[in-house]
Structure 1
């Protein structure tokens, strides 16, 4: 580490190259790669994964990987102990798991970073007794950090933290960003087909099954509609959760080469994802909880509004229903009603698509990085 810079250690359970990385890891990397490296020295510490290098520099960020999901706690603590005199701040990034830095890092150096609370996701994604243990332990472990400076990404999460005792003056919201410029308005697809879409991971709490059920219901009155599902396929989820719904309702499905009711695209490049999103009438995002919902902003930036569940994080991503469709009740039936409205109320749809596009203009990673710099300057002055 270089002594004449502000040395910051980020602790996380995943990094940008981890096969299980998601929006939180993208946020961290995109924010940090834009900082002034004449001022900052950034080290990111996380567990090893198959095929990973123990050390590498990516976009001027030093990535260090040691241990596994359990032993990384010990390894991180050892690394900090060996370098503590040079480290100015330690950022404990909570992505369900935590590093418990209040137990071993001085208060003046601690920063907590959390995108979302897990809450009901424990019951959606894990089985008893892990689900109950995770749910009951979340609040008391989070309270360890209640007096630390805290970074989050939405009012939804900030309010959750305040509800369990965090200091409102120490919780700072950083804006999300997108890594492309919103398309020029004259390049947006004007005459979209009757296509709805889902983009994301194949996990229970994201609600792909709700999207499929809503699609099945709407297809009874709108037989020509299509559903595109984009994201790395999880065959077990498809077989156990989705196929029974499709087979019971005689819904055809297949790959992009086939003209089926539902198309599973699998993983696609970022550029292709934007093209596919731009052709959708609306994106469906029936998740029970998110940190924010960056895909909603990406869709808006290519002219496509999103129908979301009335869930923490997603409420913020559609600007409380002004820049996207917000379900009154988090059910496939309510999702279906809004899909029908999208197809039948052109004036409202055009207004919502315009609002989603205009809202997307507020989000870019350069702004996020500037927030980070201002935040560090502020708390450095406070020390």
Structure 2
């Protein structure tokens, strides 16, 4: 499988976790699984994790070239299937893979994310090119993680698309862990403009007028952090906002369980793995109405969806949430129940059956 950031990469997100959970289960079933990905400081060039091999070569940009080189030199003829996982830029495997089946794995389209994360004219170029280079893959069997992305792909001409839902490690839940004394919001993710964590800080600024002891925990790192710290100081929220930086999986689960809700304000997501992870800890999600998040959050069951994707609308939704203890308790209980409907074992099997059918047809 080609993918951009593996599970050990400090900047890995939901795609890295999903890839790890699927690959280790495929390896447990006796399959030879190799993940080719980008390198990172102090990361080994090759290692085996939970039964599957990881090969790292090149930067986030150059590893796409090395993917081609390594396939020609080392991988050709060794595998039945090449999974081309697309995160922003594809590996263009149909142009050089001739001896194996190709399966596409795509979490989400970028679309407007280009304008948040790239400068003009690169942003416009990427936005216009994305539908064109994705059409190269439309005849290939495809795995995605939500109905929103499946619809986006269908609009581009993809016809053979299945959904493999994200899940969570529910065993990390600790029944004895209590919620924080003060109303606490959690944000988890890379601190990037497209994730819009600044909307949360602005919302907390508005909420503080009615709920002075409101807390916002921000977990993650990224190039947008400096601007977020400045915004926090501008609104005099130093006592309300805590930047945790990068934390372990165990610590993240602990914070998820202690917080009253997790907020996701991204421009779009594939699914929003952190929603399901927080739900598994008994914590509901309050999210924007965007692709992916409108799939992972069922309004009034495992969370709430804001009427508008603005800090003002988010502030109103959060204030109403914190003022209604019955609603908070109901969503917390239902969130954990909903998360238990998803299983990495089930998702791995769904993908494996699909890949098996692809191989049988060739």
* TM tier relative to shorter chain: over 0.9
| Matches for 1:363-378 after TM superposition, within 5 Å | 363-378=342-357
Q: Following superposition of structure 1 onto structure 2, how do residues 63-74 of structure 1 map, counting pairs within 5 Å?
A: 63-74=54-65
Over 3 Å counting, the alpha-carbon distance change for 1:248 and 1:171 in structure 2 is: same
Aligned partner of 1:106 in structure 2 is 98
* Equivalence map 1:1-383=2 (5 Å): 10-37=1-28, 39-82=30-73, 83-106=75-98, 109-167=101-159, 170-181=160-171, 183=173, 187=176, 189=178, 193-232=182-221, 234=222, 237-243=224-230, 245-251=231-237, 253=238, 260-320=239-299, 322-383=301-362
Deviations 1:31-89 (A, max 9, x none): 11112556411121223333333322222212223344454344333433344333211
Compared CA separation, residues 297 and 71, structure 1 to 2 (3 A) = closer
Return the alpha-carbon distance in structure 1 between the equivalents of residues 58 and 234 of structure 2.
46
- Say which one has the larger Rg: 1
Q: TM-score normalised to the size of structure 1? A: 0.88
* Residues 275 and 345 (structure 1), Cα distance of their counterparts in 2 relative to 1, 3 Å cut: same
Q: 1:17 to 1:277 in 2, by over 3 A?
A: closer
Contact kept? 1:182, 1:360, Cα under 8 Å: no
Hey, what's the Cα distance between the residues in 2 that align with 1:19 and 1:274? 17
Gap runs ≥5 in structure 1: 1-9, 254-259
TM-score normalised by structure 2 residue count: 0.92
Shift of residue 107, structure 1, vs aligned partner: 8.8
What does the per-residue CA deviation read over 1:171-223, in whole Å, with 9 as the maximum and x for residues that have no partner?
01112121342637x54636753112212111111111000111110101111
Q: Residues 221-250 of structure 1: CA distance to partner in whole angstroms, max 9, x if unpaired?
A: 111212221223x4x63333441x333332
Number of residue-to-residue matches in the alignment: 361
Tell me, in whole angstroms, the C-alpha distance in 2 between the residues paired with 1:32 and 1:201: 23
After TM superposition, give the deviation of residue 277 of structure 1 in Å.
Answer: 1.8
Residue 352 of structure 1, CA deviation? 1.8
The structure-2 alpha-carbon separation of the partners of 1:225 and 1:98, relative to structure 1 and needing over 3 Å to count, comes to same
CA contact (8 A) 1:95 1:114 kept: yes
Alignment partners' CA distance in 2, 1:248 and 1:48: 37
RMSD: 2.2
Other structure's SS at 1:151 match = strand
Match in the other structure for 1:256: none
Shift of 1:313: 0.8
Give 1:349 deviation, angstroms: 2.5
Q: Is the 8 A contact 1:37 1:60 kept in 2?
A: yes
Cα distance, 1:293 vs. partner? 0.9
* 8 Å contact from structure 1 (residues 192, 279) kept in 2: no
Name the SS for the 1:228 alignment partner. strand
SS at match of 2:55: strand
Q: Which residue of 2 aligns with 1:4?
A: none
Structure 1: which 4+ aligned runs deviate by more than 6 Å? none
